[in-house]
């Protein structure tokens, strides 16, 4: 059975049972108040529905189903084995205070085993786990009894002597939550004996655990019973209307249905894998490249761009790790295009926006690939110096040096570790993490000092947008009015920006329009916003704008808008923070524009601009 048919059968099955089919949400988590806010990406099908699982009425009703895009990096070191993936799809159906355990479990079993409407799997090769109970919640005997009745009704035994089909498991296995806040509860999971190792027989718990560890039985379905609410990691009570979050990973279901031993031999990966073989002769590296590029394509389509922070950093690591696993540690533009085209061939029908946005996706991936190749060349030279010194000292790359390789050359810590391993060296990862925390604290302190009275709330997304727009405005004024323009002050709030600059005459309507057009062109161009730290002397030679006469430290931060520092459209000494890409200035729907609302004199030879994003 092809993956597209599995999707179709799943949605048709639950639509027949009065579920409304809803579209997949973005991979990027929502900013809506009440939605789980401790994760960067939707890591489960239920995350976009958290407000509704907590009791908010959903406009489409109480029974929903969809195929949700998800991204998880918690198992990123496992990528390349038979079953793990960073990006995958979750087949999910939900009851928002409607049906509960009995209907959910019965429908799960029916879809998995029905030949007419479902997948037609052998019920004797299914093994079940349920929650054994702990200090948070009691043992889930209710779920276990429902399973016993299902098998009894089908004239099959569940327990036989000391062997069974049902196993009680701890919270580490059978308790579900996403982040530290939101609904949570026990679950029951369904495993399938993919190789028919046990020939449909009852087994001991020890046999089950051993088979699970060897991936001889694979989890293909999970029913989560949202009965409780957590706040800051602690259960605060029961939900007034218990809900159900039930579903299955499409990759693992497809693997089972296509009778292959790993997800990379399914039709969800075959086209991509055929391309990765051109870039690496190592099977595991081929899988890592395929997985990471597939995830990157979906992330970029959902408006994530590479950067050194948060979501952008996850994307950057995925792209760079994929490239690092190629034999030559580089992929040219033609190879990037071929990989993206393979992803679109597989997913284009299910997700049409992949094709619509493919030109932009190809540009982002090609630019990041070129940037990393250059960074790797330069960083490797510096690494060799450090490695040589380490061999004669303590066989260790210090945390400070590892962070320098990241901040100055863009080498993520995992790649520094990989390079060190090739030379039998170790890296002080804990020291690197300490350096990163120290750097973040210094950045925050610098921002507060530099923009005191200017940035009213650095945590506000609109303030970040206006801060970046101010840099674009400064450069655009230079372009239109000439090099005599010099910043004299600024003030930024979540509602607008204010920018004071040296200029002797009132701006004409034509000049204001030119400035607006330039800024909107740069927003539409989706230029990355980058930061580099270097010595003050070296920074001044880059031509970056700064306040003459102001006292700077021996090292300064330059924020530049563009692919590289030397070709950047705008570059300024700045403590930050900023958005990750100029396209963020276009707003959630991509239709905002930069607009000058007022231009006036505030002193002799000093003009003031007020502007908004609307």
Q: Is the dihedral of CA 275, 280, 282, 284 positive or negative?
A: negative
Sign of the CA dihedral with 253 first, then 257, 261, and 263 last: negative
Q: Which of left, alpha, beta for 611 (phi over 0: left; psi -120 to 50: alpha)?
A: beta
Task: Clarify whether residues 252 and 299 are in a common domain.
Answer: no
Structural domain count, the chain: 3
**Confidence category of residue 356, pLDDT binned at 50, 70, 90:** very high
Task: Tell me how far apart the alpha carbons of residues 350 and 28 are, in angstroms, rounded to a whole number.
Answer: 18
Give 293-303 pLDDT, tens digit per residue.
Answer: 999 999 999 98
Domain annotation covers residue 401: no
Of 184, 282, 269, 280, nearest in space to 235 by CA: 184
Task: Examine the pLDDT at 408 and tell me if it is beyond 80.
Answer: no
pLDDT bin (cut points 50, 70, 90) of residue 535 is confident
What would the pLDDT profile of 85-127 be if each residue is shown by its tens digit?
A: 999 999 999 999 999 999 999 999 999 999 999 999 999 999 9
Looking up tokens 């900013």, which residue turns up?
31
Could you tell me where the DSSP H helices lie in 426-490?
A: 429-450, 461-481
CATH at residue 139: 3.30.930.10
Residues 139, 157: one domain?
A: yes
Least confident interval from 28-37, 160-169, 209-218, 219-228: 28-37
Q: Cα–Cα distance between 288 and 582 in angstroms, integer?
A: 30
455: pLDDT strictly greater than 50: no
Instruction: Choose between 395 and 122: higher pLDDT.
Output: 122
What is the arithmetic mean of pLDDT over 524-552?
81
**Does any domain span residue 447?**
no
Does residue 409 carry a pLDDT above 90? no
Q: Average pLDDT of the chain?
A: 88
For residue 371 the two structure tokens come to: 């940037």
More confident residue, 391 or 518: 518
pLDDT of residue 415: 85
Which residue, of 340, 365, 395, is where some domain finishes?
395
* Mean pLDDT across 466-483: 93
Residue 612: closest CA among 498, 448, 527: 498
3-state secondary structure of 115: coil
**Pick from 361, 380, 395: which residue ends a domain?**
395
Q: Tell me, yes or no, whether 445 lies in a domain.
A: no
**Per-residue pLDDT at 434:** 84
Q: Are residues 388 and 256 in the same domain?
A: no
Residue 372 falls within a domain, yes or no? yes
- The predicted pLDDT at position 445 comes to 47
Q: Would you say residue 450 lies in a domain?
A: no
562: left (phi over 0), alpha (psi -120 to 50) or beta: left
Same domain, residue pair 189 and 277: no
- Structure confidence at residue 444 as a pLDDT band (50, 70, 90): very low
Could you read off the pLDDT of 217-260 as tens digits, one per residue?
999 999 999 888 888 778 888 888 899 998 899 999 999 999 99
Torsion angles phi and psi, residue 54, rounded to 5:
-85, -5
How wide is the angle at C-alpha 445 spanned by C-alphas 458 and 549, nearest 5°? 100
Q: Greater confidence, 351 or 409?
A: 351
- Strand duo 487-492 + 497-502: pairing: antiparallel
Residues 503 and 588 in one domain: yes
Most confidently predicted of 51-60, 485-494, 501-510:
501-510
Distance CA 415, CA 55 (A): 45
**pLDDT tens digits, 305-332:** 888 777 888 899 899 999 999 999 899 9
**Residue 278 has what pLDDT?**
95
Query: Helical H runs in 325-452?
Result: 333-347, 353-356, 358-392, 399-409, 413-422, 429-450
Confidence (pLDDT) at 23 = 94
Residue 192's SS3 state is: strand
- Looking at the structure, tell me whether residues 465 and 546 fall in a common domain: yes
CA atoms of 23 and 10, how far apart (whole Å): 14
In-domain check, residue 455: no
The full DSSP string for 550-563 is: ----SEEEEEEESS
Q: Are residues 348 and 482 in the same domain?
A: no
In a domain, 436, yes or no: no
Please tell me the number of Cα atoms within 13 Å of 567 on its side-chain side.
Answer: 7
Task: Round to whole Å and give the CA distance between 56 and 235.
Answer: 19
Pair (83, 123) in one structural domain? yes
Q: Are residues 194 and 284 in the same domain?
A: no
Max CA distance (Å), the chain: 95
d(CA 36, CA 49): 9
Determine the Cα angle at 457 with ends 453 and 463, to 5°: 100
How many CB atoms sit inside 10 A of residue 523's CB? 25
What is the domain extent for residue 40?
A: 3-265
Smallest CA-to-CA distance from 25 within 55, 51, 46 is with 46
What's the pLDDT tens digit per position in 174-223? 998 766 777 889 999 999 999 899 999 999 999 999 999 888 999 999 99
């Amino acid at each position: 059975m092809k993956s597209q048919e599995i999707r179709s059968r799943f949605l048709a099955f639950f639509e027949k049972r009065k579920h409304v089919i809803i579209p997949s949400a973005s991979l990027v988590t929502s900013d809506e108040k009440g939605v789980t806010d401790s994760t960067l990406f939707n890591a489960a099908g239920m995350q976009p529905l958290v407000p509704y699982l907590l009791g908010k009425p959903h406009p489409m009703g109480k029974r929903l189903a969809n195929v949700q895009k998800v991204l998880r990096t918690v198992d990123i070191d496992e990528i390349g084995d038979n079953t793990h993936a960073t990006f995958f799809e979750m087949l999910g159906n939900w009851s928002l205070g409607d049906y509960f355990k009995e209907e959910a479990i019965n429908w799960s079993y029916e879809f998995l085993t029905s030949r007419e409407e479902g997948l037609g799997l052998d019920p004797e090769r299914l093994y079940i786990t349920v929650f054994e109970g702990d200090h948070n919640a009691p043992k889930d005997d209710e779920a276990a009894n429902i399973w016993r009745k299902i098998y009894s009704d089908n004239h099959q035994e569940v327990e036989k002597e000391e062997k069974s089909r049902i196993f009680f498991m701890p919270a580490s296995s059978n308790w579900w939550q996403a982040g530290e806040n939101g609904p949570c509860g026990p679950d029951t999971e369904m495993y399938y004996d993919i190789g028919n190792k046990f020939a449909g027989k009852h087994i001991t718990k020890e046999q089950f655990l051993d088979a699970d560890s060897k991936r001889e039985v694979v989890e293909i379905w999970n029913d989560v019973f949202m009965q409780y609410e957590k706040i800051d990691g602690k259960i605060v009570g029961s939900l007034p209307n218990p809900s159900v979050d039930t579903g299955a990973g499409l990759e693992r279901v497809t693997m089972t249905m296509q009778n292959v031993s790993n997800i990379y031999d399914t039709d969800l990966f075959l086209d991509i894998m055929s391309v990765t073989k051109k870039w690496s002769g190592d099977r595991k590296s081929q899988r890592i490249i395929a997985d990471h590029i597939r995830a990157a394509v979906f992330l970029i389509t959902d408006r994530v761009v590479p950067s050194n922070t948060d979501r952008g950093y996850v994307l950057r690591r995925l792209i760079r790790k994929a490239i690092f696993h190629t034999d030559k540690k580089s992929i040219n533009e033609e190879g990037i295009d071929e990989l993206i085209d393979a992803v679109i061939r597989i997913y284009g029908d299910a997700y049409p926006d992949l094709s619509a946005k493919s030109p932009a996706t190809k540009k982002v991936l090609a630019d990041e690939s070129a940037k990393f190749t250059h960074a790797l060349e330069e960083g490797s030279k510096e690494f060799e110096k450090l490695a040589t010194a380490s061999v004669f000292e303590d066989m260790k790359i210090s945390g400070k040096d590892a962070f320098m390789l990241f901040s100055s050359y863009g080498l993520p810590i995992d790649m520094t570790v990989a390079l060190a391993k090739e030379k039998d060296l170790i890296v002080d990862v804990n020291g690197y993490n300490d350096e990163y925390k120290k750097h973040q604290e210094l950045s925050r302190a610098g921002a507060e000092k530099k923009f005191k009275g200017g940035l009213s709330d650095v945590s506000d997304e609109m303030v970040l947008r206006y801060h970046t727009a101010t840099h674009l405005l400064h450069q655009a004024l230079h372009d239109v009015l000439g090099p005599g323009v010099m910043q004299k002050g600024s003030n930024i709030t979540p509602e607008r920006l204010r920018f004071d600059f040296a200029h002797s005459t009132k701006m004409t309507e034509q000049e204001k329009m030119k400035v607006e057009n330039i800024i909107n062109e740069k927003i539409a161009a989706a230029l990355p916003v980058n930061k580099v730290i270097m010595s003050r002397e070296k920074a001044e030679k880059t031509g970056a704008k700064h306040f003459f006469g102001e006292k700077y430290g021996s090292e300064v931060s330059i924020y530049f808008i563009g692919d590289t520092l030397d070709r950047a459209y705008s570059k300024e000494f700045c403590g930050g923070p900023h958005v990750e890409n100029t396209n963020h200035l276009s707003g959630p729907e991509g239709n905002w524009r930069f607009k000058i609302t007022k231009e006036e004199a505030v002193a002799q030879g000093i003009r003031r601009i007020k502007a908004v994003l609307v």
